[in-house]
Every structure is written in C-alpha cells, then in structure tokens.
Chains A and B, each alone.
Chain A
Amino acid sequence: MMNDWTDIIGEQLSNMSGTLPADDWKVLQQKYSSSRRRARRAAAFHWAGRLVAAAAAVLLIIFISLPKENTPHTTLIAEEIPHSHVILPDSCTLSADNCSLPQEELHPHLGTSKATESVQDKPSGQESESTCSTPEVTTDMSADAASGTISETASETATEAVSDAPVKIQSSTTPEKATDEVDKTGKENKYLALDNLLEEPERNKNRRKISIGISGAISGTMDMGEKADISYGSVIEPADSSYHTKPAASKYKSDRYDHEMPVSFGISARFHLNDVLAVSTGINYTKYESKRTGYIQGHKQSSMQKVHYIGIPVRFDLILAESKNLSLYLGAGIQADKCLWATAWGKTIHEKEVLWSATCAAGLQVNLTPSSSIYLEPELSRALNTGSLQTYRSEENSTLYMRAGIRFTLK
C-alpha cells in the first residue's frame, strides 16, 4: 500500500516520549502560579470595568429621573413690588389679540428695564397715557408676598368695542417704605434690585471653562477567553536583525513574547465649548513591557523588551448629566503615539511608524471643591495600525484602560 512506510513512522512517533529534566514539575508549578495571578488580575480588571460601567449607568438613570427644580419666575417676590393699574378706556375690549400694549407695561413686576423705567419715571399717584386699542379693562397686578405669586384680576368686564382711546396707567405702591426708597435713591432702580432676586437660568455657564488634569491608567485585555491565561506571541527575526544581540553561533529563528499589561500616565487640558460639549487634549505616556525568549539549537535566552510611547490624544466629550457634585460624560476621539525609545537584548531598537488608535470613554467626575475634582474613565482603545515592534498592542487590537485622575478648573 502507498502509505505503508509513513504508517510505520506515524506509529513509532505517536508512542514516543521525551525525557524531561528532574525539576520540570517545579518549573511548571511556578509557571502555573504566575499564570493564575495574571488571570486573577485580568478578571479583577474586567469586573472593575463592569462595575464602573454599571455604576455610571445607574447614576445616569438617577440623574435623568430626578425632578427638576421650580422655575425661578415663581419664587420670591418682595413685598415692595408695587401695584400697577392699567386703566383701559371703556371702548376697549381686553383680549390677547387686539391688545397692543407690550407685556412689560401690562406686567411691570416681571421687570425689564423698559418696564421698570416706565414705572420708575412715574411717581406714585401719577398717571401715564398710552395708546391702546383694547377695550376698557382695569387690571390690578398685586403681589402676594405670602404666596410669592403674581395674580391678575380683571375688575371690569371688557366691552367689545375697540377704540383708540388712551389707556391710563396708574401705578401705586402700597407700602410706604417703597415710596421712601424711590424718594431717597432717586434714579436708583429699585426694580433692578428686585430683578436680581429673580433667578434667571444660567445658560452656558460652563462655556470657556478650562480644566487641567493629571491621570494614570492600567489596561487589560478585552478577551476573557483562554488567550488571557497565556499571552504570548512570536515573530521571526528579520534577516538583518541588527537590533539585538545574537548568539555567537547563529541568530534566533523566532522569539516568544510574554506581554505585560501596559501602563499609561498623562496630563490633559479640557476646554468646554458649551454646557454639553467639551474638547480635551494632552500628552500620554505609555510603556509596553514584554519578555522575549529566543530558541536556538536546544538553548533559550530571555530578555526584557521595553517600549516607551508618547501620545497626543484629541477627544470630544459629551456631558450627559451634571450636578453640583457629579458629572457624567461620554467621549470619543483619536490618539497618535510615537515611540520615544525601545530596548531589547541590551540594545536600542526602533519603531519609526506613528501609531494611531481610536478611543471612546465613559467618565464619572466627582467634584471635591468648586475648582478640583477626581474622575474615573474606563476607556476603550482600538488600534488602527500596529507598527513593526511586537508588543501588547500588536497582540490585542482592543485594549481597555481604566484611567483615573485629578482635574483642576482654571476658570
């Protein structure tokens, strides 16, 4: 038969055993312990990331479901708010459609400067005239200090006729001290002061706010399968491998890599474009460390490969929810990394290529003081290119970083 002699080879080799050194079991035990520690660290990292994500989701839900505060227009009307009587001619009919009086004149207490000036300019008891096509209606604006509301009552029923008769505005102040104040200050705008009691919503309060941050990060693999237990990779050394020390007899055919989890530190600057959008950039330093083992003719030699990258990230952050003490945001951007220096086998090796990656992050910021805060950012980084050096990045396309830091608000 055609396969007879190969069958014999197969049969002989399939039952063949090798000879292992006496301490091989101890070596295996040590490797297993190390592998378990690495797997536990990766699992802890993964669970921490999931907990942070869950906590962020819960906080976001809480923020969204919190009841909103009362609008400032309904709060705190001072007792001094004068009554304002708008006397309309008999022929006027009060209706929303044909009333040409501006709102400020009808409701002088909800002050604009125009309204307050018009009231101010008319001392107590005087009447002013304005043209109105509405019918005669007297509205009595009164401030109820107890309830803090403004109520408007029509003292007369409007007639249907419309005329151009002038409308008399009679302003009066009930408390005496209001009159005294007007007399005392003269041009002082009491109602501007009253306006200040009304809380206008702060729009774009974060605009142009700048923050400086310092952060550190550790990373872990996204793959929690078997690969996480034994992380290794190999590469065939190029023919002109002048960047590592070669044994005297011959060069290595292949290296085996055991990658450590990369660590990263950085400083960042964050600029708020408006209340919900911010752009951040900065400088990140990342170190990749790997144990390289070369095999040749039954011998092996190991060396630590260390690669240091400096990177510039640019990221846009969308602030999802913000309160006095907490802030939740999502970010997306890119980062460019350049190798500063790298060493292996006692010599310097080179990585000329700029490495690009796309990043997305979720952030939780806790304000310690009005100008300082701490933040936690799980960040997912997807490598867009890997470069020529074999590092953790070339093994794992997606890396999860757990970044934590301190942020200081400059203005």
Chain B
Amino acid sequence: MKMQKSRLQPSFLRSALFCLPIAFGLAACNEAPEQEIETISADSTSSPFGDQAAVGAEKFAANCAACHGANLEGTTLGPLLSGRPFMQRWGERTPSLLFSNIKANMPPGGNEGLVDADYLAITAHILNTNGVDGITAAITTTTEFKIAENASAQLANRQRSEPPAPEGITVAGNVDEFVPFVPITDAMLESPNPADWPMIRRSYDAHSYSPLDQIDTTNVGSLSLEWVWNMHEGDSEPSPLVYNGIIYLINPGNVIQALDGKTGELIWEHWTGPANRQDMRNIAIYDDKIIQATTDARLVALDARTGKQLWETAVADNSQGFENSSGPIVADGRVILGLAGCARYIKDDCYISAHDANTGKLEWRFNTIAKANEPGGDTWGELDDIFRAGGETWITGSYDPELKLTYWGTAQQKPWVPVSRHLTIHDEGLFTNSTVAVNIDDGTLNWHFQHVPAEALDLDEVFERVLVNRGEEKLVFSLGKYGILWKHDRVSGEFKGYKETVFQNAFTDIDSVTGRVTYREDIQNAKLNEWTSACPSSAGGKDWHSMTYHEPSGLMIAPLSQTCLENAAREVALVQGGGGLAASRKFFEMPGTDGNLGKIGAYDVDTMEEVWSHQQRASFHTGTMSTGGDLVFVGDLDRRFKALNARTGEVLWETRLGTSVQGHPVSFAIDGKQYIAVTSAVGGTSPRTVPDVIATEITYPRWGNALYVFSLPEE
C-alpha cells in the first residue's frame, strides 16, 4: 500500500559493515585491488600450519582480497590486515577469536560454501602473513595463544614498504600573515557571521544553511571554478570549516590543513596521526583552537593560527576497537563528541563525552547502552552487560543554547539481527537507535525517543538532529536509514509526526499518535541464515549525508537513496572479545523507482508533505546545503555537482568534477564575495558499496580527493 501511495505523488520522479566501517578491521567489500606491494611472508613450508596457511592463501584470494588487498595491504574498501595495525588489534587476542570473528562477519556478501576448515585456513594465512612463525601445528577452532607471542615482530613490521608518514607540522605558517586571527567565542558560534561556516552544518541547529544570497537563482548559471586543491588520499567524507576567510580542512589519515579561502594558498599542515587513510568527517573551532577527533579515538587541539599541537587526550581505548569517524561540536566551552567501533563484546560501551575545550579534561559521559542495573537496563533480555553492544554515536549532534540540551542520534544494537544477538524483537535495547537529548552541564539524559526498537536490518537512526522553530513550537527533525522523516517536540520529546520519504516495507504499521513502529512478521521472526528481503537497504533511505533546512521556504531538503537488501543473520557466540555485525547481505534496485538510486526530497515541515523531488540514476554523496539565494547544492556519484532551486527542485546549474562528489558543500564570503565549496572524494561503506553493485555502469576514478571552490565571475 505504501508503495502505491508514493507512486501516486504528483512528482513521482524521485551504509563491515556498511555503517561501522571497520569495527573488527574487516571490511565491507567492493572492487578488486590495484596495489602492487611486495609480498613478504614467513617461510611456511613443511609444517601443518604452513600447509594450512597455503590453502588459506588461495581461499583469501578468492573471498577476501577484493577488499583487503592481495597482500592484506588494504584498499579503500577494507583495511589492511597486516603489520602494526593488525598486531595492535589482535596481538593480545587468540587465533580462535580471530577465526570466530571472521566467520561471523566475513565476507559481508554471504558465506555460502565456506566451511570452518576454510575459515581456519584463512585465519592461518593472516597469521602467517603477519609473521606468526612460532607454531607448527595447524590451528583449530579452539587454538588459544596470544598471537603476538608467536610472531616475529621484525617480520610483521616489514609488511608495509611505504616510507614512514610524517608527524606533526609539515608545512609551517601563520594565519595572522593572511588575516588577523580573532578568537571565536561562544556568542559567535551561537550566531555565526553570515560569511563563515564555523562548524559542521554551519550552526548549532544543524540547518546546513548559509544566509549568503549573492549567488541566487538568477545568476547561478554563471558559477565558475575559482580554485581547486588536491587532498590526501583515503576514505573521505569531509566538511570544511571556514572562519574569517580561512578554510580548515580535514584530510584522510588525520591530517589538517589551513588554506587561504580566497586563493587556495596552503598556510599550514599538521599530521596528527595515525596516518591510516581513514575517514574523519569534521573538525571544530573554538577560541583560538582547532579541535580534532582522531580515527583512533583521541581528542587533539591545535593552534588555529599555526597548527601547533596544544593538548591531547584519549577519548577511548583504540586497542579495544573504539574509533571515531566524526568530530566534535564545541558548545558552552565543552567539546562534545561521540564514539564508534562499539560492536565488540567487551566491558566498555559507547558514549557521548564532554571535555573542557581549554584542556581536554573529561567532564562527563553519557552511556548509550543501559547496563542491567541502570534505567532502561531491562530492555536487553537476560543478556549480560558484556554482550550488550552497539549504540554508536558516529554522527555529530546538535545543540540548543537556550535549552542547554545537546541532541544526538544513536546507532542500532549489534550484531545486526536480534537472533544473532541472542535476543528477540521484544528486547528494545535502550538507548540504541534513539534520539537522546542530553543536558550539556552534566551529561544526564533529559529525554529520549527510540525510533526503531530492537532494530533488525542494519538500518540505524544515528544521523543529524535538525532543530527548527515554527511559531512557538521548538522541534527536532531526524531522518534515518528507514527513510522516515521524524518530527518531535525538542523540549519534551513528544512525537509530532512522520513522513515516509522513500518506499519502505520493513514496517507494517507506524502509529500516527505514538510513532511506534511494527516490523513485518518475517522480519520479527528472522532465523539464523534465513534471507529476509526489505527496503530500504543499509545505504539508507538516508545516510550520513546531512539534510538542510531552508528556513525561507520552510522546507527540509534531504539527500535520499533508493535501494533494497536481502539480509541473513549469522551465528555469533557469546564470548568475551567476540561480537560484530554478523549478517550476509545482497543488494538490488528499489522496485517502482525506475532504477533511480538518487533522490532529493523537499518536505514542508508544517504539513510533512513532499513539495518536490528530483530523482536520477546516480546516487547522491554529499549533504544538501541551502542558501539565502534560494539554492540547494548537492553532488553525486557520477561526478556531478548541482544547484537546484530550493523552492521547486529545478536544476539550475551543474558541473562535473574529477571523481565522485562526496562530502558536505559549504558557502562562505571573503571581502563581500560569496564562494561555494565542495569536495570530491572516494571511500565509504554502504552508501558507496551498494551503488557500486547496482549501478555498475557508473564509472569514476578511484582516487581524486579534492576541494573545489566556485564563485561568480567578476563583472
């Protein structure tokens, strides 16, 4: 019924693991690798272990190399499984645990035809390649020794032949030589200068809206390239910061650059490390500091003038799998930050944390997983605390300075399917897949709404919370992978309405009064290794690409994706250190969309009706950004960067960049001249993998991270 309804709208045109890229250092997958790296492996002939590893090498080549590289060196689709990073993650763990984690999670497309002996052989190959040479017996499902204790460290360290990455400042300079640096205050962040884009999504309310109106619907057709800057390679989904004419740009691998916005001149560059080519979506600016979360879950402050490091603190223990892919906001003098990589069965779980912006000192944490003796702790069945996993906060939240509440989305329970979690569809799992409104002063929970209790398809509701005022109403909007636009009162948390923005068949009912969802029966009762077919897929609906609120028209304009998935749960043993995601997935076009993966939908925030949509074959890979010139900017997989009329959806301008357009467009002004900036980028999880297996005809270079800056030609 829902399908038919959406088809009748007047304008029917219309993300191992896919949401947690490398919780186990194992990946969702995609393309064949192209690297040529010297293979160095232990002399493994003439022992049962060596023979097992030799078989494993073949199995690895057939099942794993497409993502992790022929020599375990990693690709943009899957992390390297060798050398120091591997030993950091696995050195203190055992072969049996490595075996069970690989078996439960890899390969993500399904494991039909792979038996325990194959997984053991692959495990042996990974160990052998990492210099495990202290054993001769073939490993079994119960082989228990610390991996590092049987490996030649020297061999493991020779795995990567690249020169060592730089550390610290690589290009020295001072912003003051370009423009006098003025420290940025709370007041300036609460009401940003129209010329600036001083945080992710520009403002605390996460509108991704620039009031600048020099570029408008009448002249956008003349928009031209001002300058371009190539960025470091790796997975990239960045949101540049712009303050007082200076662009602060987060690059893959935890590298930050300061660029003169007018000319593209590099002022300084700082390598915080680790130099791992991993993705970080955003950084923050406060006072005279650039504040950076790192992919290995540290928090670092740099001098905004020079890039010099000022302080550093640990957010969580990276060796336990914790990581960050999004950075902080700074509100009320506090750095507010989420956490990811929380799918393991370990004592610690995910949290939102607040640190003193001047020192990095921890002020509070809000835990997203309720332990047995805590409020909400009875929503996890009989599960021991150690096996309660998920609830990542992998997308940066928003903030209401009047209410002094910070709003965050949380990811779903892990593993992905209730039966894999040893739970049922009735075990809601607080505070996963929820909106949480947290008091900024002490980190206590003010209210929460769980959008999808007991989530069962890897479709999380973690994305940005957009704060909108309509008359006396203070609202919060969110849009998760199910493609449902949710509207809540942000003072009380009361449910105010919803809109299905793309076809979904996961829920048979969404209660119009309470917002309570009811899963389809076969999804409720999904058994191990039983395929379930549902829409949307793990690419969303909507994913990390943020939506924009165009206040002048009252429209919420969202980048959406139309694909579906088949999902089958895998078995996960309840063992300490285990866990994971544990499902096989396949992907297909969403019926009734005519093969259009990409959709931009505009929704009236009062009526929740769709006002216009723009649909196309290529999926969209940037957030939407709207402007005072009644424009909305967005970029796609097919290298197109477009400007649409925010009120009608009409495409007014487009250009083609070097590779897929990915990131968050921003607008800023220098000396009264407006600029539009966007990144081209590669890498990512479901939002990339799913289109790559469905829209196989769309091609683009596999490298080409860059920042493009556009403006109107001089009169």
Partners in one complex: no
